[in-house]
Amino acid sequence: MDQAIMIGIDLIAIAAMTFGLYFPRHRRRDLVVAYLVVNVGVLAVAAILGTATVGLGVGLGLFGVLSIIRLRSSEISQHELAYYFAALALGLLAGLSTTINPVVVALMALVVAAVALGDSPALFRRYRQQTIVMDRAYSNEPELRVELERMLAAKVHRVNVLRLDTVNDTTTVEVRFQLADSVVDSARTHESLESVR
């Protein structure tokens, strides 16, 4: 009975994280399925490993192999990777608990809270990172920085030239920048108008 309650707590936690946090913020349907299936799969395997004589090290090794296979199958961003590991952690915590443990429940709540805070749109909302292909070969980094600030209407914090192509006259650059408040407010107003429509 206690294990069934822990399974219920896990299902509530993964549903809150997936449907309450991830999908409303990022709208990527394919990863909703991935997070749910990974969580339930890990929960099921961990529950069996918790009652069997198989060592915990073998079980964790199995999860490591599964996660490597999953992560190599398609490219996902860092925030999506965080959700993925949170789904794994929730499944492990609930699956390995054979009794109702307040510490485990608190840790599960902490995982969901950490994802909610770390992925909050209000946290560092003006900061962005992009890979940009410039239509000119910039060998002078200060000049490149000035052009990026003009083009993005933002303060550039870091520039990393990925490729300088002098034959085709292009520069591929990874840039980290901070938008001006007026740009962010304008974008929020536009999003509000779009949601009304």
User: Residue 191: is its pLDDT beyond 80?
Assistant: no
Is the confidence at residue 13, as pLDDT, over 80? yes
**pLDDT value of position 73:** 55
- 112 plus 159 within the same structural domain: no
Structure tokens at 75: 């490219």
Cβ atoms of residues 130 and 32 within 8 Å: no
Do 137 and 52 belong to one domain? no
Q: Are 96 and 132 in a shared domain?
A: no
Q: From 64, 92, 118, give the residue that closes a domain.
A: 118
Please tell me the distance from the alpha carbon of residue 33 to that of residue 16, in angstroms, as a whole number.
14
CATH number for 141: 3.30.70
Question: Cα torsion for 27, 91, 12, 1, to the nearest 10°?
Answer: 160
Which of 112, 124, 101 is CA-nearest to residue 39?
112
> What average pLDDT does range 139-155 have in this prediction?
93
Residues 135 and 106 in one domain: no
Residue finishing a domain among 118, 145, 179: 118
Has residue 188 got a pLDDT over 60?
no
By residue count, the chain amounts to 197
> Do 103 and 154 have their domain in common?
no
Bridge-partner residues for 132, per DSSP?
A: 173
Same-domain pairing of 132 and 111: no
Claim to verify: residue 29 and residue 112 sit in the same structural domain: yes
Q: Are residues 93 and 176 in the same domain?
A: no
**Cα 66–69–74 angle (5° rounding)?**
135
Please name which of 153, 86, 78, 134 lies closest in space to residue 113, comparing C-alpha atoms.
86
* pLDDT tens, residue by residue, 84-123: 889 989 998 998 888 888 999 999 999 999 999 999 988 8
d(CA 161, CA 169): 14
Task: Choose between 88 and 16: higher pLDDT.
Answer: 16
Whether residue 92 is found in the same domain as residue 41: yes
CB-CB contact of 25 with 77 (8 Å):
no
- CB contact set of 148 (below 8 Å; sequence gap of 6+): 132, 134, 156, 159, 173, 175, 177
This prediction has a pTM of 0.73
Task: Let me know whether 105 and 145 are in one domain.
Answer: no
Chain segment 19-29, per-residue pLDDT in tens: 999 999 999 89
- Same domain, yes or no: 114 and 183: no
Where in the sequence is the domain holding 186, given as residue range(s)?
127-196
| Number of domains comprising the chain | 2
86, 118, 150 — which closes off a domain?
118
Is 37 found in the same domain as 60? Answer: yes
Rounded to an integer, what distance in angstroms lies between the CA atom of residue 49 and that of residue 60? 10
